Amino acid sequence: MSDEQATELLSTTQRERLRADPGALVLAMLTDTVDTLHRAGVRDVVVVTPDDRVRARAQHLSAHVVDEPGDVAGGLNAAYALGAATARTLWPAHRWVLMVQADLPAAEPSSLREIIDSAAGRGESMVTDRAGTGTSLLIRPTSSGELPHFGPDSAVAHRLAGVVELDPAHLRWPDIRTDVDTVSDLVAALRLGVGEHTRSVLSDLTVCDAATSGVGDRPDAS
């Protein structure tokens, strides 16, 4: 499905709302992602951001917030490394760090727990995005000081770096694979069912008769 086709599934009101305040969706997805981490048993969370609204929301969610420097080489990967270094300092007893995208509104606690269990004893490991080319989630030792390889074609870059792909057949954890970068991604997340905060922002969204079929809704219990 192209972004143009996916956009047709959004109401005119919803498209106008997203254009007027795209940050509202970002904050909602962040909230649902952090909430899912907490419900999966991941209590110690670091959020790296240069944005005041994200900073305030993350603090409200009891996450430790680190200001992302705007002039540091490495961009996204430097931010991940900064977050990992912060976690290592704050919680030295932790042996592993979970690097996850903050735009996983369909993520379920049960999937995260399964992934963490599957990664045990396998070294640095990852789950790719739904296209199989990007990386939605990376687990690595807290002792690692190397930059990760998030970004375009990151799955290949991580494989070349020796990262183990936990589900190379791409049959498991579609909720974790669905990070939202495009309208098509958003529609895919809605089909799976999104968290309450994302659902609230998109309250007038219709995806294939979602109002009558229940698509785009999910139980709040883990």
pLDDT interval class at 4 (50, 70, 90): very low
Q: Domain for residue 82, yes or no?
A: yes
Closest CA to 108 of 170, 40, 187, 201: 40
pLDDT at 10 over 60: no
Predicted confidence at residue 182, as pLDDT, reads: 86
Which CATH number fits the domain that encloses residue 198?
A: 3.90.550.10
Q: Domain for residue 221, yes or no?
A: no
pLDDT, one tens digit per residue, over 137-168 is 999 999 998 999 999 999 999 999 999 999 99
User: 13-42: string of b/e by CB count within 10 Å (b at 16+)?
Assistant: ebeebbeeeeebbbbbbbbbbbbbbbbbeb
pLDDT at 220 over 90: no
Q: Domain for residue 20, yes or no?
A: yes
Please state, as a whole number, how many other Cβ atoms lie within 10 Å of the Cβ of residue 166.
19
Q: Domain for residue 154, yes or no?
A: yes
Q: Domain for residue 84, yes or no?
A: yes
pLDDT at 199 over 60: yes
Q: Domain for residue 139, yes or no?
A: yes
Q: Domain for residue 207, yes or no?
A: no
Q: Which domain holds residue 143?
A: 11-202
Count of the separate structural domains present in the chain: 1
Q: Domain for residue 56, yes or no?
A: yes
pLDDT, one tens digit per residue, over 17-70 is 556 566 889 999 999 999 999 999 999 999 999 999 999 999 999 999 999 877
